[in-house]
Structure 1
């Protein structure tokens, strides 16, 4: 088991730290939401995001998380969420006290103990968190962008090739969905292959999941060749994953999946449509080409451990 570094050394007087439990998921959501509102002017994190990630079978909450408390109130947190991946947040009312620096040190110690050689996390470009990580020696690993389809706009979709279809996935296609998504994302993401069980925990078992959230493109034989995973939250349709099998690209399937995802989300009450992409994928031009506009810029900073 990963051993935590000292849980009080270096923290401001009166603050305590401990590993988190699933019961702390709402408190973590609240801290992240406060930080996002201060930086972005809106909240994008959801309680379901935290639960979906933490309920993965491979994720050891005790070994992989830490919370900093002022009395009973969580004021900062960090997690090693996966191979070389982390996240952290400090409530705006408690920033500037050294909590973020302490959490960054905890992340590096925990990543090193887990066998990683690097650890990194995303932050809005130019935000207090981004500036802190830069001052601590974290380098930019890649850039990412959140894009939004203007309200009332629709993505123009060209006709599907003969015999192809876009529809809701069936339960017996879940493993095929996992295969298409993992194959596509591992073309550019340097990490171990995610197990089906972990994928299922954060997708099909995510709190609030409904069958229509999972869109697939099928070929004339009925095989799943494209996937869109859409999350509806606070009136926003967010495409969390979009993937097309390598041998099926350049036929308009990604655009068709996007158009379908946003259209069906509007039927379920969505008033805006968003997704994110990063500089590793080369997909920014695709989304800009269908009328989506960048609303925020993020950087993933990392440091060798």
Structure 2
């Protein structure tokens, strides 16, 4: 089935994305981040993992928009979730509206009941565009930071708990722990391959800064870290504690281990994302993190 027709301004053309386009897409995404937030934090591994999402077919579910000189001006993909990015140099020409409309048509064509998309609250033009296309807020997401001017202290572990860095072979056990912990709010469980592409198999994965907590020989907590080049800071992709071990200070312990280990490598801050469905914001604030900026996850119920 052919994807919907994309109507573009004169001189622009489109084609699907391929894995060879990952560097150019990454450059586009970071340019958008710098415009909105004054800094970039994405890495090419995240772009590659999105293109490899189970169920996403690049030939029909992705589109790149090229300017008259053949340079990447915008991109979009859709597969239950969607992303639309327009290079700052090409905004105000209708590309965002055209791509957003394309994602909705493609989602309907594929039989999706709903599409969700995350947009930075500071990007007021993008927020207005989503609302004009029938999107409604679903959850709030926050990027939190822990600034490290001095070496972070690490609390004493709870009785019976030990902490060590991630080792080769830990992936399957950590995957099960994370999926079990996130079952309360995530839409679906991820297969190992999909999860690993966003975490432990990512080129920026930092095993030495990824702390695992054990009760005896049993894994009960994990904080998975990324070290993204050029950012000067560490990033925690996932933090999870087994339900029957929550309330013991294990998450705080893992966070402090990660902060300390990133500080030892010369990083000046450590960041992570959380959203309102997880109920974890207060935990991170108590550890000493602060909100750097917020985003909203919007939804469009296609049958409404």
> Hey, what does 1:263 align to over in structure 2?
260
Of residues 114, 117, 127, the one that matches 2:113 is: 117
> Hey, what does 1:226 align to over in structure 2?
221
SS at match of 2:24: helix
> Hey, what does 1:73 align to over in structure 2?
71
Matched, 1:198 2:194: yes
SS at match of 2:169: helix
Change in Cα spacing, 1:198 to 1:254, as seen in structure 2 (3 Å) is same
For residues 144 and 41 of structure 1, the distance between their equivalents in structure 2, rounded to whole angstroms, comes to 18
Of residues 89, 94, 101, the one that matches 2:85 is: 89
List per-residue Cα deviations over 1:184-209 (Å, max 9, x = no partner).
122112x2211011112222221233
For residues 118 and 112 of structure 1, the distance between their equivalents in structure 2, rounded to whole angstroms, comes to 9
For residues 304 and 235 of structure 1, the distance between their equivalents in structure 2, rounded to whole angstroms, comes to 39
SS at match of 1:37: helix
Which shows bigger deviation, 20-29 or 49-58? 49-58
Change in Cα spacing, 1:249 to 1:185, as seen in structure 2 (3 Å) is same
For residues 144 and 87 of structure 1, the distance between their equivalents in structure 2, rounded to whole angstroms, comes to 16
TM-score by length of 2: 0.92
For residues 30 and 232 of structure 1, the distance between their equivalents in structure 2, rounded to whole angstroms, comes to 18
For residues 58 and 220 of structure 2, the distance between their equivalents in structure 1, rounded to whole angstroms, comes to 34
Of residues 9, 20, 23, the one that matches 1:23 is: 20
Give the total of aligned pairs: 298
Change in Cα spacing, 1:110 to 1:154, as seen in structure 2 (3 Å) is farther
Change in Cα spacing, 1:106 to 1:125, as seen in structure 2 (3 Å) is same
> Hey, what does 1:5 align to over in structure 2?
4
> Hey, what does 1:108 align to over in structure 2?
104
TM-score by length of 1: 0.91
CA contact (8 A) 2:153 2:260 kept: no
For residues 91 and 110 of structure 2, the distance between their equivalents in structure 1, rounded to whole angstroms, comes to 28
For residues 76 and 185 of structure 1, the distance between their equivalents in structure 2, rounded to whole angstroms, comes to 32
> Hey, what does 1:159 align to over in structure 2?
156
Of residues 124, 130, 133, the one that matches 1:133 is: 130
Which shows bigger deviation, 53-62 or 177-186? 53-62
For residues 120 and 200 of structure 2, the distance between their equivalents in structure 1, rounded to whole angstroms, comes to 28
Equivalent positions of 1:155-194 (< 5 A) are 157-189=154-186, 191-194=187-190
Where does the alignment leave 5 or more consecutive residues of structure 2 unmatched?
none
SS at match of 1:171: coil
SS at match of 1:172: coil
Equivalent positions of 1:244-255 (< 5 A) are 244-255=241-252
Change in Cα spacing, 1:58 to 1:175, as seen in structure 2 (3 Å) is farther
CA contact (8 A) 2:206 2:226 kept: no
For residues 290 and 200 of structure 1, the distance between their equivalents in structure 2, rounded to whole angstroms, comes to 27
